[in-house]
Structure 1
Amino acid sequence: MQNFQFLHVLRPILHYGLHFIAPGLLAYLFFRDRWKKAWLIMAATIAVDADHLLARPVFDPNRCSVGFHPLHSYYAIGVYILLLFFPKTRVVAVGLLFHMFTDLQDCLWL
């Protein structure tokens, strides 16, 4: 029972830490010359979660976002991968793909 409570608390900490702290590390590693701007852009990709507003209920802790919401669909992920090939959209693409990875790891907790 103690482990379950610990995991129940750890899940959102890990999820939101990956959404906001990990992009800072990625920005520093891959976009060092402009890491602060890259971090802000990658953190701003949280706006992709606006598609959750189309679901009923809007928030369901037991629902996997990846493959369910339109901007979390496999088609959208394909577009995000294509964005990697263009220098002007690369930071956004990394942020969006890392967002999908974060949401996917959250699905594994279910």
Structure 2
Amino acid sequence: MSTRAVLHLLLHAAVPALVAWLFFRDRFGKAWLLMLLGWVIDLDHLLADPIYAPNRCSIGFHPLHTAPAIVAYGALALPKRTRLFAIGLLIHVALDALDCVLMRMG
């Protein structure tokens, strides 16, 4: 596994932890867990062939990584009940988009 791929996976855990610590410290564990659930959108990778392609940009390719889905994640951030999960989804998509940029650069 490449350094970029390992860093990408670590950021998927570290960024939600940082956000939980900075903004939801009083309920850090629950906030971090709910944001980590944003990883569930990677289930759409099971629809692809091959399932994992290290140099494939997820954004726009997988159904749960498309613009309409991202808009839905933004809408989920509005109600308090789904906000932390939605933040996790949006962080996930942002990190995947960053990975796409890094792939194009190198």
Q: Take 1:58 and 1:32, find their aligned partners in 2: how far apart are those partners?
A: 36
TM superposition shift of 1:44: 2.1
Q: Take 2:102 and 2:48, find their aligned partners in 1: how far apart are those partners?
A: 21
The answer to whether residue 50 in structure 2 is matched with residue 57 in structure 1 is yes
Could you tell me which of 75, 78, 82 is aligned with 1:89? Answer: 82
Taking structure 1 as the reference length, the TM-score comes to 0.87
Structure 1's unaligned 5+ residue stretches are: 1-7
- Please name the residue that 1:3 is paired with: none
Q: Take 2:102 and 2:51, find their aligned partners in 1: how far apart are those partners?
A: 19
Matched residue pairs, number?
103
Q: 1:53-73 CA deviation, whole Å, 9 max, x = no partner? A: 001111111111011111111
Residues 55-64 or 95-104, more deviating: 55-64
The answer to whether residue 20 in structure 2 is matched with residue 34 in structure 1 is no
Given that residues 38 and 86 in structure 2 are in contact (C-alpha distance below 8 angstroms), is that contact kept between their aligned partners in structure 1?
Answer: no
Identity %: 50
- Match of 1:21, SS state, is helix
Residues 26-35 or 46-55, more deviating: 26-35
Structure 2's unaligned 5+ residue stretches are: none
**Superposed structure 1 runs of 4+ greater than 6 Å apart:** none
The answer to whether residue 15 in structure 2 is matched with residue 22 in structure 1 is yes
Q: Take 2:35 and 2:75, find their aligned partners in 1: how far apart are those partners?
A: 17
Given that residues 38 and 88 in structure 2 are in contact (C-alpha distance below 8 angstroms), is that contact kept between their aligned partners in structure 1?
Answer: yes
